[in-house]
Amino acid sequence: MKMSKMLMPTLREVPADAEITSHQLMLRAGMIKKMSSGIYNQLPMGLRVFKKIEDIIREELEKKGCQEILCAGLIPAELWKESGRWDVMGAEMFRLKDRTQRDYCLGPTHEEVFTDIIRQEITSYKQLPLNIYQIQVKYRDERRPRFGVMRTKTFTMKDAYSFDVDEAGLDKSYQDMYDAYRSIFERCGLENSPVQADSGAIGGSTSAEFMVKSPVGEDEIVFCAECDYAANIEKAESVSAVLPKEEMKELNPVHTPGVTTIEQLEEFFGVTADKLAKTLIYEADGKTVVVLVRGDREVNEVKVCNAIGEVIEFDLAREEVVRELTNAEVGFAGPIGMKADYIFIDKEVAEQSNIGVGGNKTDYHIQNANFGRDFEGVVGDFRSVQEGDKCICCGASLEIARGVEVGHIFKLGTKYSESMGANFIDKDGKSKPIVMGCYGIGVERTAAAIIEQHNDENGIMWPLSVAPYHLVVVPVNIKKEEQMEAAEKLYNELQSMGVEVLLDDRDERVGVKFKDSELIGIPMRITVGKDITDGKVEFKLRDQSDKELVSLEDIKARVEVEFTKNNVKLG
């Protein structure tokens, strides 16, 4: 491509509303253009990268025997009503009506559509297993679209769905996808780690997220310092830190005027926070939920929602609800005598003796509360892991890092096949529900994550595998015939080798050309300058500062070396 003919609106200035590096660089490199909040159009430089990522995904999935299809984005509500998700998806789903008032949505995901296709086509175990996928646009009315294409209202997702006769089959399909994802992200140049994840509203049991560690990540990931344990904070567990048992003491109500926070209580009673319990009150779809964790812990709301089952709206209770439940001002809630639709007690609180709690009476707390004797509730793990907690696998210390979720794989089981009647006749002649898995990758978010890991102060440093173009040929002065001729010749020859080449034939200063190619992150640069009189050009890699003077005879071989080194096929 000749750069004089390209739509490539690069920016020198950092756009004011772009907070993170990848967003700034995508805008500055002219890859994307904002249309409205959370809605971006893709320009040539961006589209080429996204297509490269899609091709890597295709290649790795097809190696595992997956087949590509393409579904419509407009989905009739009936399918979602069948699965029971029409009412569960909440505000994130874009809903609309046609001229006859029939309900539709713009697909935020496609479990229902794929299940519908399969139930019409599959009747026998002989037709299974199957794994089909699409690379298609999704629509989600995100509460907070942000960080450029990291979180948008419309984005490209690769979504794959596996269909098996039994759990063992699903285990294999899941493992195949796990392996394919590792290869995909590795080929994209992403350092990433699969972590155990919560399955959320989509249903199912086992799930893993592919996380790219990055300070701009919206997720928190818990890692063990010693073993392989890694999990999203929503799901992560740690060993309960229970204090030594004591003999149960008598309940002791204490007048604590104006003392409401854990810090104030620590000071008032002269104890550490682990001798106190926090009582938090939530509302879940109109039901009251009380959760107790130790004073030095935080409630894990995802674990609480999972314990309830299907929850759409979940939030801290309004003050009037707290007052009504506790018969007290806010700040004095406690478990003793508490009545609520759900009462959840974290294991650490349940196992601890003589803990301090709120009195359910304004200006009162109670010392020496003991689970079983003074209060009841469902005991479980309702706390978030904290840095330094002990690993449940090996006992070593846990660490917390931020990550960007680029992919997610789930074992769905029979949730959709049962609700939507996707059955097959097994070898034994019995009709059984198909066992499913689903697997997603966000294409644009993956590109943004790559930029987060591959950039410097001059711009993007694309790995060769996903670069919009492999190489740029820069004639120093387009008015010098000899330079321009040699540059054009190289451009043509490299292209016929299968190299994706840009020719910077713009009438600009060479400094401007270098700046642009560095900003857009082209991995290789060949500069044709005055050394062309000796048959030599300058070769430079984007991620290295050295420049090599290479003769025209050797330059193609030099370029080829980079393809071999980076394991990228030519052509």
Footprint of ligand ATP (CB under 6 A): 109, 140, 142, 151-152, 155, 157, 405-408, 440-442, 444-445
Which of residues 389 and 444 has its CB atom nearest to ligand ATP in the complex?
444
Give the number of C-alpha atoms closer than 13 A to the C-alpha of residue 170, restricted to the C-beta side: 22
- Pick 108 or 359: Cβ nearer ligand ATP: 108
Give whichever of 142 and 220 is closer to ligand ATP, judged by the CB atom: 142
Q: Is 358 left (phi over 0), alpha (psi -120 to 50) or beta?
A: beta
Residue type present at position 141: D
Distance CA 39, CA 152 (A): 6
Burial class of 79 by CB neighbour count within 10 A (0 to 12, 13 to 18, 19+): buried
Q: Which is nearer to ligand ATP, 157 or 304 (CB)?
A: 157
Q: Are 155 and 137 in contact (CB under 8 A)?
A: yes
**Cβ-based neighbours of 17, under 8 Å, separated by 6 or more:** none
Coil, helix or strand at residue 375: strand
- In the complex with ligand ATP, the residue whose CB is nearer, 51 or 558, is 51
Least distance from ligand ATP to the Cβ atom of residue 462, Å: 19
Identify which of residues 157 and 474 has a Cβ nearer to ligand ATP in the complex: 157
Whole-number minimum distance, CB 278 to ligand ATP, in Å? 27
Compute the least distance from the CB of residue 568 to ligand ATP, in Å: 23
Name the β-bridge partners of 278: 293
Nearer to ligand ATP, 204 or 334 (CB): 204
DSSP 223-270: EESSSS-EEETTT------PPPP-PPPPPEEEE-TT--SHHHHHHHHT
Determine phi and psi for 279, rounding to 5 degrees: -115, 110
Q: How far is the CB of 116 from ligand ATP (least distance, A)?
A: 19
- For residue 199, count CB atoms less than 10 angstroms from its CB and return exposed for 0-12, middle for 13-18, buried for 19 or more: middle
Q: How far is the CB of 434 from ligand ATP (least distance, A)?
A: 21
Q: State the residue number with the nearest CB to ligand ATP.
A: 442
Q: Least Å distance between CB 156 and ligand ATP?
A: 8
CA of residue 241 relative to chain centroid, distance: 30
For ligand ATP, the closer of residues 40 and 344 by Cβ is 40
Secondary structure in 3-state letters for 35-89: EECCEEEECHHHHHHHHHHHHHHHHHHHHCCCEECCCCCEEEHHHHHHHCCCCCC
Crossing angle for the helix pair 44-63 and 167-187, to the nearest 10 degrees: 140
**Least Cβ distance, residue 25 to ligand ATP (angstroms):** 17
For the bound state, the minimum distance from the C-beta of residue 285 to ligand ATP, rounded and expressed in Å, comes to 20
Strand pairing class (524-528; 471-475):
parallel
Please, which residue, 19 or 263, has the CB nearer to ligand ATP?
Answer: 19
Rg over CA atoms, the chain: 29
Q: Which CB atom, from 392 or from 441, has the smaller least distance to ligand ATP? A: 441
User: Which residue in the block uniquely carries the two structure tokens 């796990």?
Assistant: 178
Beta carbon nearer to ligand ATP, 168 or 312: 312
Residue 126 C-beta: closest distance to ligand ATP, Å: 32
**Closer CB to ligand ATP, residue 217 or residue 358?**
217
* Six-digit token string for 551: 């003769």
CB of 433 to ligand ATP, least distance (A): 23
For the chain, helix, strand, coil in percent to 5 are 30, 30, 40
Burial class of 53 by CB neighbour count within 10 A (0 to 12, 13 to 18, 19+): buried
**Shortest reach from residue 176's CB to ligand ATP, in Å:** 18
Q: How far is the CB of 10 from ligand ATP (least distance, A)?
A: 24
Please answer whether residues 416 and 161 qualify as being in contact, where contact means their C-beta atoms are separated by less than 8 angstroms.
Answer: no
